[in-house]
């Protein structure tokens, strides 16, 4: 995988200090830690309802000492922002031709030399979405890595990592359980997040 802000020496130390201080000063609490055995994993990013989710996610990742990559629509990677977005851990996704995304993502995780946490928003958009996409599930199963339930609640100003979710093989039952975990959380634009 490409070099990111999380693997750039000195910069990552300075940004971690800034992130921890900023979150504390603005009243946010960061909870949990990366579970044992999840150095390579898929992190669910929910609720995802605002452009503000990205900077807060990056700061929480610094606070938790994660090495994250995240998927974003290809349009935000257009010049002159492509280099910056890639450095922030972004992976451009062409939504219209995302049929190889699962295989490519799983391969990137398994071939990575060190820790790598791939963040995937199940809603696939900041806009109102009732149907969750299952790409995160299939990536984790294909790469044989755990799914970690990451969350951000703007009402309570809490963010962090929950437990590992082990897929049972029955995607309908598993998705219902995952949605139940996220039901109490509120995104920045809470009306756009649905777990029903």
pLDDT of residue 131: 72
What pLDDT, on a 0 to 100 scale, did the predictor assign at position 31? 96
Has residue 35 been placed in a domain? yes
Q: How many structural domains is the chain composed of?
A: 1
Question: Domain for residue 5, yes or no?
Answer: no
Q: Is residue 28 part of a domain?
A: yes
> What is the C-alpha separation between 107 and 80, in angstroms, rounded?
28
pTM of the model: 0.85
Domain assignment present for 116: yes
* Residue numbers of the chain with a pLDDT score lower than 50: 125-129
Q: What pLDDT, in 10s, does the model give residues 140-185?
A: 999 999 999 999 999 999 999 999 998 888 999 999 999 999 989 9
Contacting residues for 37 by C-beta, under 8 A, at least 6 apart: 146, 164
- Its domain, for residue 164, covers 11-190
Q: Does residue 2 belong to any structural domain of this protein?
A: no
How deeply is 120 buried, as exposed, middle or buried, from its count of CB atoms within 10 A (0-12, 13-18, 19+)?
buried
User: Is residue 195, in this structure, part of any structural domain at all?
Assistant: no
Residue 135 placed within a domain: yes
Q: Establish if 6 belongs to a structural domain.
A: no
């Amino acid at each position: 995988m490409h070099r990111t802000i999380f693997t750039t020496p000195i910069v990552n130390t300075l940004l971690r200090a800034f992130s921890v201080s900023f979150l504390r000063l603005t009243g946010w609490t960061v909870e949990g830690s990366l579970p044992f055995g999840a150095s390579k994993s898929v992190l669910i990013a929910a609720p995802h309802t605002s452009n503000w989710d990205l900077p807060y996610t990056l700061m929480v990742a610094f606070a938790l000492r994660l090495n994250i990559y995240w998927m974003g629509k290809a349009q935000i990677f257009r010049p002159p922002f492509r280099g910056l977005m890639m450095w922030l851990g972004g992976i451009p996704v062409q939504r219209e031709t995302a049929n190889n995304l699962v295989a490519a993502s799983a391969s990137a995780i398994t071939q990575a030399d060190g820790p790598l946490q791939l963040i995937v928003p199940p809603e696939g958009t900041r806009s109102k979405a009732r149907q969750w996409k299952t790409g995160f599930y299939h990536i984790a199963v294909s790469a044989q890595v755990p799914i970690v339930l990451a969350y951000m609640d703007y009402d309570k100003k809490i963010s962090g990592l929950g437990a590992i979710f082990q897929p049972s093989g029955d995607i309908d039952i598993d998705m219902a359980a995952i949605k139940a975990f996220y039901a109490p959380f509120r995104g920045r634009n809470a009306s756009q997040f649905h777990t029903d």
